[in-house]
Amino acid sequence: MLVVVDLSARPDVQDLLGTVTTTSPTADIDIDIDWSAVTAGGGLVRLTIEWKRPTHVDLAIVFEADHHAEILQALATGDYFTLTGTNPEDGSLGIAVATVPARGELLARTWIFTAL
pLDDT over 70 at 110, yes or no: yes
Return the domain boundaries, the chain: 2-110
pLDDT at 114: 39
pLDDT in tens, 44-84: 899 999 988 878 899 999 999 889 989 998 998 888 998 88
Q: For the full predicted model, state whether its pTM sits above 0.75.
A: yes
Q: What is the DSSP letter of 26?
A: T
Do the strands 80-86 and 2-6 form a parallel or antiparallel pair, or are they unpaired? parallel
Q: Which long-range contacts (CB under 8 A, 24 or more apart) does 57-64 make?
A: 57/12, 57/13, 57/16, 59/5, 59/10, 59/13, 61/3, 61/5, 62/38
Are the CB atoms for 31 and 20 separated by under 8 Å?
A: no
